Amino acid sequence: MIQSPEILSRRADVHVQRSGPGDVEQCSGSRVCGGHAEISGHALAVRRNVLTLSAEQKRVFVSALDQAKRTTHPDIVIATRHYSEIFGPDNSTQFQNISIYNLFVWTHYYSVSKTFLGDGEPSFSAVDFSHEGPGFLTWHRYHLLQLERDMQDMLRDPSFALPFWDFSTGGSECDICTDDLMGARSRFDSTAISSNSIFSSWRVICESVEDYDTLGTICNSTESSPIRRNPAGNVARPMVQRLPEAQDVAACLEIDAFDTPPFYSTSSDSFRNSIEGYSAPEGPYDPVVRSLHNLAHLFLNGTGGQTHLSPNDPIFLLLHTFTDAIFDEWLRRHTADVSSYPLENAPIGHNREFNMVPFWPPVRNAEMFVSAADSLGYSYEVQWPARALTLTQIITVTVVAALIIVAIVFAAATCVVRSRSFGTETRQPLLGDQYQRYDEQHKTQSVV
């Protein structure tokens, strides 16, 4: 993945407009603040729930994605051989053009691909630059930002914003799998996309993973099979037949620590591992659990559920914008600064000051650990679920409510009794008086 020096200098001095009118931040010299020179002075891009877009906005979004799939990236080419073979026999370089959307797919593939150790050697699979570590959120944040900025440039619309899919429905339906959005299920093949959707004509890249691992090649821009998707259809694994619940989102937002040792997929009480979905949403690590982001991927049950291929299904980007929205909300609620992010002892590529592989020009994890609205030029419009009460809270509320009811009933009963006896008392003295006076006057005893 390379860019020309001319492009690097073009991106080095930009302005981003922040939330308030006239509040323009100078981002001179920053590689990530603002991105493209062309977006100088543009307004904050607002990422919205894709289901709330109008019919016309949905059509425009789907058509923009399709344009990105077909438009060659103006600045970046990809390497299709490892370093030692980057120059071919005739000194030709092994680089290829790639489309804007396919670069998004390739970048993710590259970040998770095995390390080639040489002919005949098994490739090394223990490195993942974008998952199972603190960099999961920062890496995917920049991944989305790069696509959004590339699409803003392609459309010449600096306000273009990627929408999000709120996958926390708790249901077994894919509510965005409709022909006006990500494509309905085909009526003829339950694992394919309906021919009424443009996405049925999309072809995936990076499918020949065996070749890359054994021959030492790298995914190139050749497109092969259609997207496969069978939401909730994994009968062998009932746990991934339902999407996460809104309460899972609420629970993970309450976790205080951004990440915890060993800063891996086995971390407990880590917000990052909880939203990534290797631990229960409340925090404890459990090897059988798949929740939130991981569960949403596995629910798709096809291209979108295989890590080296998943961005080929455009649902990937909507799933990740929602994950990023949760990350942004966590930063806000916990008023976190970069010191919450581990400086060391995280897996390779995941430490705070490490560059995120393979983005170019280099971007560090720390640069993405910031409020999106304050520093990155976009914000989210989301309704967050209120946290459900715990059992202890439910018992406490029930006991207090019962005591209040008892007190009210007791008070009401006391009032009734008092008012009755007051009524009797207020009549009796009159009778008593009368009786007494009569008795005193007549000196007789009679009952009135």
Ligand X SMILES: O=C1C=c2cc(C(=O)O)[nH]c2=CC1=O
Provide the binding-site residues for ligand X, judged by CB under 6 A: 131, 290, 294, 297-298, 305, 307, 310
* CB 294, min distance to ligand X, A: 4
Nearest CB to ligand X, comparing residues 310 and 321: 310
* CB 129, min distance to ligand X, A: 12
* CB 241, min distance to ligand X, A: 14
Nearest CB to ligand X, comparing residues 17 and 303: 303
Nearest CB to ligand X, comparing residues 237 and 427: 237
* CB 112, min distance to ligand X, A: 8
DSSP string across 390-422: PHHHHHHHHHHHHHHHHHHHHHHHHHHHHHHHH
> How far are the Cα atoms of 101, 187, 228, 303 from residue 203, in angstroms, in the given order?
11, 19, 10, 11
* CB 177, min distance to ligand X, A: 17
CB 206 within 8 A of CB 219: yes
Nearest CB to ligand X, comparing residues 80 and 310: 310
* CB 307, min distance to ligand X, A: 4
CA distance 63 to 227: 17
> How far are the Cα atoms of 29, 33, 164, 285 from residue 372, in angstroms, in the given order?
18, 10, 15, 29
The pairing of strands 15-17 and 24-26 is antiparallel
- Judged by DSSP in three states, 79 sits in strand
CA distance 173 to 406: 45
Nearest CB to ligand X, comparing residues 185 and 290: 290
* CB 265, min distance to ligand X, A: 8
Place of tokens 């150790």: 117
Give me the sign of the Cα torsion angle 197, 200, 206, 209. Answer: positive
* CB 298, min distance to ligand X, A: 5
Nearest CB to ligand X, comparing residues 298 and 318: 298
Nearest CB to ligand X, comparing residues 49 and 303: 303
CB 172 within 8 A of CB 243: yes
Report angle CA 65, 71, 73 to the nearest 5 degrees.
110
Nearest CB to ligand X, comparing residues 267 and 310: 310
The pairing of strands 45-47 and 378-380 is parallel
* CB 363, min distance to ligand X, A: 19
Paired with 72 in beta bridges are: 99
Is the omega angle on the peptide bond into residue 358 within 30 degrees of 0, that is, cis? Answer: yes
Nearest CB to ligand X, comparing residues 55 and 235: 235
CA distance 345 to 259: 12
Give me the residue whose beta carbon is nearest to ligand X. Answer: 310
Of 338, 365, 373, 323, nearest to 258 (Cα)? 338
